[in-house]
Structure 1
Amino acid sequence: MRAGSLDFVHDQFAYGRRFRILNIVDDVTRECLAAIPDTSISGKRVARELSALIRRRGKPGMIVSDHRTEFTSNAILSWASESRIEWHYIAPGKPMQNGFCESFNGRMRDELLNETLFFGLDHARAKIGEWVSDYNHRRPHSSLGYATPADYAANLTATGDRLRNPDQLRRSPVATSAPSGVSNAGTLIAAG
């Protein structure tokens, strides 16, 4: 994981009991690294899940989240400090500052949660796991040059590409660079 975002999305089982899903997204590859459904997920559980993810994928440069209690708990503050991972909290009421995870959550809501009746936690885990696998391995993203998130991540790992600063990923360039051999705009070249 290079830079990650996390957030919760909520739903309910067919019989009415609510559950939540902790979604963790790699901001660079757009992969869903984890989608963990459960009826209760504490700050300690979030820390355990992040530790397990880091053992599999490596340490991120930064994690982005909102100010939800689970993310501001002593368990998370201690974990981030001990892990030496920068944790960035978005401004209250500004969900687009966590745009990658918000976009993923919206897609999950539209394509899976609004379309599926879940009959229990095991059923939810199976259906969510299938959907995440499809999202990561079969869906090309225009922002990734029409590669799937998994293919894009594998290519980054295989080529050892150096990534831009995660803050730069949140900003689009104003204009593209001039093609090779073209002088910068506004520069006059005097003929001799």
Structure 2
Amino acid sequence: MKKRFTEEQIIGFLKEADSGLPVVELCRKLGFSDASYYKWKAKYGGMDVSEAKRLKALENENSQAQAFTGGCVARQCSSERRRLPKVVSPQQKREAVAVLKANWQLSERRCCGLMNISTSVLRYQARGDNNAALTERITTLAGQRRRFGYRRIHVLLLRRAGWVNVKRVYRLYFKAGLSVRRRLRKRIGMTERLPLLLPEQANYAWSMDFVHDRLADGRRIRCLNIVDDFTKESVAIEVDTSISGLRLGRVLDKVAQERPLPTMIRVDHGPEFTSLALDAWAAGRGVKLAFTQPGKPTQNAYIESFNGRFRDECLNDHLFSTLHEARYRIEAWRAQRTQRRTAQLQRQESPPKTAYQTAKSYIPPRL
């Protein structure tokens, strides 16, 4: 996680948690994991307690002074201007109808006409709320998937609880205050877009790109993402402080032990991808390196889309203390995403379903 919050903001988050806000709800509201919260609490906990005590003492002195000077006057003015409450709510009108019927001996219809209330509203009996279990389940899933909206929460409910109306999930989701704050993207001017063709076979074309992040101590780490363009499957994610061209070749050879290498790999003009080591590796394996034009990330849209989801759901959600923790959490996220996508494609009759079944057995022709 990059340093997106200042020390003052972190102290404010801890104050909200101390005031009674659940940690899961606070993490989902502000977009960080519970592990990050407890690390901040261990680091800034003492500072928060001392400042809170001083602030509370000042507030008590201020409130006592205001109560001493103007409290009596305010209570006297409010008592003088006190009026009888208006009968506007349905429950107040029902009570007024009961008083009219008892004291004035009027009919029910006549009392309803005087109080402007229908007989159906008068005889209405409130039903108990049967959404408590579903709301609790939605809140639990939202705490586990902090960047999931109500549509993706609805998909998880369909898998676990059977049929649930999406409009009901929408109503309970927003009533519980679980809406996710959208992260605004930088607006880019209109440019000419080149078409990006979708491969017809799995393991025919892969895409590679790097994503950068920082550890808690400020050290930079690099994540090498490899994605199959046809199935959108995350083939591998290599995490380290530095990844050279030789390391790229070793990572791809490790992947080749589990599945065939593709015919082409789409990359940008990074120094690792244009190195002689990777070029020699590609020539020796019969793999073509397809380079995008400089400044044209849309020509490698599949990996760019994956990078955005990877940063939003994993990197921005965790504060990594060590390189080992970063590798463990990132690999767990990759395995969970692959499992979730495979289960989704098995329920849908679409071309990628066959691709997933034949991804490890199909050997593409060499160019």
Based on CA coordinates, which of the two structures has the bigger radius of gyration?
A: 2
| Distance in 2 separating the partners of 1:47 and 1:157 | 21
Q: Tell me if the contact between 1:23 and 1:35 (Cα under 8 Å) persists in the aligned partners.
A: yes
Length, aligned pairs only:
162
**Equivalent of 1:49, from 240, 245, 251?**
251
Query: Residue 319 of structure 2 corresponds to which residue in structure 1?
Result: 117
- Amino acid corresponding to residue 68 of structure 1 in structure 2: G
Per-residue Cα deviation, 1:110-150 (whole angstroms, up to 9, x for no partner) = 11111110011110011001110111111369999858xx9
Aligned residue in 1 for 2:237: 35
Q: 1:151 to 1:144 in 2, by over 3 A?
A: closer
The residue aligned with 1:94 is 296
Equivalents in 1 of 2:362, 2:327: separation in Å? 34
CA distance in 2, matches of 1:144, 1:74: 41
Instruction: Check whether the contact 2:268–2:292 (CA below 8 A) recurs between aligned residues.
Output: yes
Runs of 4+ in 1 over 4 A off after TM superposition: 140-147, 150-153, 160-163
Distance 1:144 1:63 in 2: 27
Q: Deviations over 1:30-71 (max 9, x none)?
A: 110100110010000001111121221102011000010000
User: After the TM superposition, which residues 165-180 of structure 1 pair with which residues of structure 2 at under 5 Å, given as runs?
Assistant: none
Residue 109 to residue 144, structure 1, CA distance change in 2 (3 Å): farther
Q: Which has the higher contact order (CA 8 A, sep 6+)?
A: 1
Aligned twin of 2:330: 128
Q: Alpha-carbon deviations, 1:67-93, whole Å to 9, x = none? A: 100000010111111111111000111
**Offset at 1:161?**
8.0
Q: Is the 8 A contact 1:29 1:152 kept in 2?
A: no
After superposition, the Cα gap between the structure-2 partners of 1:109 and 1:3, relative to the gap in structure 1 and judged at 3 Å, is: same
- SS of alignment partner, residue 262 of structure 2: coil
Q: State the shift of 1:162 in Å.
A: 9.9
Contact 1:13 1:117 in 2 (8 A): yes
**Alignment deviations for residues 136-174 of structure 1 (CA, whole Å, 9 cap, x no partner):** 111369999858xx965442359x7899x9xxxxxxxxx
The structure where helix makes up a greater share of residues is 2
State the match for 1:13 in structure 2: 215
* C-alpha distance 56-139 of structure 1, shift in aligned 2 (>3 A): closer
Aligned to 1:190: none
Secondary structure at 2:258 match in 1: helix
> Distance in 2 between the 1:89 and 1:128 partners?
27
Return the letter of the residue paired with 1:6. M
Letter in 2 for 1:45: R
CA distance in 2, matches of 1:142, 1:104: 17
State the secondary structure of the residue aligned to 1:9: strand
What is the CA–CA distance in structure 1 between the aligned matches of 2:306 and 2:220, rounded to whole Å?
20
Structure 2 gap segments, 5+ residues each: 1-202
> TM-score scaled to structure 1, two decimals?
0.75
Cα pair 1:21 1:37 within 8 Å, conserved: yes
Q: CA deviation at 1:28?
A: 1.1
Please say if residues 346 and 353 of structure 2, whose CA atoms lie closer than 8 Å, have aligned partners that are also in contact.
no
Does the 8 Å CA contact 1:8/1:20 hold for their aligned counterparts?
yes
Give distance in 1, aligned partners of 2:278 and 2:363: 28
**In percent, how many aligned pairs have the same letter?**
43
- SS of the residue corresponding to residue 34 of structure 1 reads strand
What 5-or-longer segments of structure 1 have no aligned partner?
166-192
Residues 89 and 143 of structure 1: CA distance in aligned 2, closer, same or farther (over 3 Å): farther
Contact preservation (8 Å) 1:140, 1:146: no
